[in-house]
Amino acid sequence: MVSIDTVYQKVLALANKEQRGYITPQDFNLFANQAQMEIFEQYFYDVNQASRQPGNDTSYSDMRTLLDDKIELFEQFQDVSFTSLFGALGVYNFDGATDDIYRVQMLTYEDLSVSQFPIIFEKVTEKEFWQMQQSPLTRPTANRPIYAQTAGFSWSFYTSVSPSRVRVTYIRKPEKVNWTYVVINKQAMYDANASTRNFELHPSEENQLVNKILRLAGISNEQPDIMRAGAVMDQTTTQQQPKI
């Protein structure tokens, strides 16, 4: 976790250097949430790139291990309810998925009459979902259930038994950050109350957050020196990170 007040104070200090400008709390919160999502989404691109490169046995310098540690902060699971779809035998729809899902990792269900371990659904396309049910050779079974993502984060799944519980394991989105404040003598002062929300990213991302917010502020306020300062520092930070 990264303190939102620490990031805001660093951003203000850099933006105010040589009278370059002031970033309001409202603008900061907007830029901060965009910067957090940029960094978060970059993780998955970097994982794809890292998986193509040979790793090493040193956990603190292996890029894939470092990325997995950052992503694990957002791993969640949730049991979901479901209903029969159009009365079709074994075909179900979830009754609404959680709103904070970013990427589904796995769907499972438990049936002790089939297996003592959770049974993992195989993900297929929606076309495959319906085609596989037409042939006895490809039709899903209790041991080999399937699911398809239909629209947004709604799913249909098929199994030859009626599962008592289906669990979705997923990566959730970071919660929106919020720098809360009170106005004292016409100055916005940090107020660490219940509505304050810090960045949920790994502590190592603090400098990147500062740099990206500066760049966004410079673009928004049409101040090229702030934008360039943020872009240069962001590039320097990226160069200092382990290469994939």
Q: For residue 45, how far is the Cα from the chain centroid?
A: 12
Per-residue model confidence (pLDDT) at position 239? 44
| Most confident listed range (6-10, 82-86, 96-100, 140-144) | 6-10
- The β-bridge partners of 185 are none
Q: Which of 9, 36, 3 lies closest to 209, judged by CA?
A: 36
* Residues sharing a CB contact under 8 Å with residue 79, sequence separation 6 or more, in sequence order: 165, 166, 167
9, pLDDT greater than 50: yes
| Of 36 and 130, more confident | 36
Per-residue model confidence (pLDDT) at position 2? 94
Range name among 129-138, 197-206, 217-226 with the lowest pLDDT average: 217-226
Range name among 20-29, 80-89, 132-141, 189-198 with the lowest pLDDT average: 80-89
The answer to whether the CB of 123 falls within 8 A of the CB of 129 is no
Per-residue model confidence (pLDDT) at position 161? 67
Per-residue model confidence (pLDDT) at position 129? 83
Tell me the pLDDT tens digit for each residue of 38-92.
999 999 998 888 776 665 555 555 788 888 899 999 999 888 777 766 555 566 6
Q: How many CB atoms lie within 10 A of CB 40?
A: 21
134, pLDDT greater than 50: yes
Q: Which of 172, 161, 166, 163 lies closest to 94, judged by CA?
A: 166
204, pLDDT greater than 60: yes
Per-residue model confidence (pLDDT) at position 70? 92
226, pLDDT greater than 80: no
**Both tokens of residue 62?**
């292996």
Banded model confidence at residue 34, pLDDT cuts 50, 70, 90: very high
Kindly report the pTM of this predicted structure.
0.77
Using DSSP's 3-state secondary structure scheme, residue 82 falls into strand
222, pLDDT greater than 70: no
Alpha helices in the chain (DSSP H): 4-16, 25-50, 63-72, 126-131, 206-220, 224-240
Q: Terminal CA-to-CA distance of the chain, rounded, Å?
A: 24
Per-residue model confidence (pLDDT) at position 84? 66
Banded model confidence at residue 240, pLDDT cuts 50, 70, 90: very low
Cα–Cα distance, 172 to 139 (Å, whole number)? 32
